[in-house]
Amino acid sequence: AQSVTQLDSHVSVSEGTPVLLRCNYSSSYSPSLFWYVQHPNKGLQLLLKYTSAATLVKGINGFEAEFKKSETSFHLTKPSAHMSDAAEYFCVVSDLGVDSSYKLIFGSGTRLLVRP
Amino acid sequence: DTGVSQDPRHKITKRGQNVTFRCDPISEHNRLYWYRQTLGQGPEFLTYFQNEAQLEKSRLLSDRFSAERPKGSFSTLEIQRTEQGDSAMYLCASSRVGGLNTEAFFGQGTRLTVV
């Protein structure tokens, strides 16, 4: 079965400084990986996804993630944090279930705090 | 795209009562998913539909839970004899048919509080 581990439950940065949210995956085959963001009282929104076309994936709002097979990692980064980036971030892997069903397996989440 | 719509947004119920939630997926999406999210945790998979067929149910989905997707359009999730442990955010998502890298779109969820 596929799984993801988010290494930090909380990350705090100052506005204008880089952001690093860490994610490791476990997969028996080439994984499909995603990062979703959840702002308070809003639905989950896709930031980016890894499709094996390129190891460095660019997403919305200046975020990007690098797939490293040797390290089984898919860390999310942003060069300069903005106050509006404060939210919960989820690393996600998709999995095949019974009867060819599909499901997303979520990490436990990392809450990003941005200090003024 | 009008997005995934869930109704109601909030529900407060007394222990032992039955509740039903509705999800309207994006119109051309064949796949529909239900997830449950408790405070401080990531969403947990509950069940998956492809068109009207319910293809997988999580062990989290006890006999008190039932989900339907008649005609492959909207879906309902019913919880019978609610318990305080059922208090959570219930999320619905939909996606097109595709490979494992197909994006799922989420609704804003229904927050259930059992008192």
Which residue in A95, A97, A92 sits closest to A108, CA to CA? Answer: A92
Taking the C-alpha atoms of residue B41 and residue B27, their distance in angstroms, rounded to an integer, is: 29
pLDDT at A8 over 60: yes
Peptide bond between residue B8 and the one before it cis (omega within 30 degrees of 0): yes
Instruction: Kindly report the number of other CB atoms within 10 A of residue B78's CB atom.
Output: 13
Query: Which stretches of chain B are assigned E, i.e. beta strand?
Result: 5-7, 10-13, 19-24, 31-37, 44-50, 53-57, 65-68, 75-79, 88-95, 105-106, 110-114
Per residue in A73-109, pLDDT (tens digit) is 999 999 999 999 999 999 999 887 766 677 899 999 9
Q: Which residue has the tokens 């019974």?
A: A98
Distance, in angstroms, between A93 CA and closest chain B CA?
A: 9
A12-26, B66-80, B92-106: segment of lowest average pLDDT: B92-106
Secondary structure of residue A66 in the 3-state scheme:
strand
Q: Which residue of chain B comes nearest to A107, CA vs CA?
A: B42
Rg (CA), chain B: 13
Q: How confident is the model at residue B1 (pLDDT cuts 50, 70, 90)?
A: low
Taking the C-alpha atoms of residue A89 and residue B107, their distance in angstroms, rounded to an integer, is: 16
The answer to whether residues B62 and B47 touch, using CB atoms and an 8 Å cutoff, is no
How is residue B45 written in tokens? 């998979």
The answer to whether residues A85 and A114 touch, using CB atoms and an 8 Å cutoff, is yes
Taking the mean position of all CA atoms in its chain, how far away is CA A18? Answer: 15
Task: Give B 71-90 residues with CB within 8 A of chain A.
Answer: none
Per residue in A33-50, pLDDT (tens digit) is 999 999 987 889 999 999
Taking the mean position of all CA atoms in its chain, how far away is CA A86? Answer: 14
Of B33, B48, B106, the CB nearest to A43: B106
Q: Which residue of chain B comes nearest to A49, CA vs CA?
A: B101
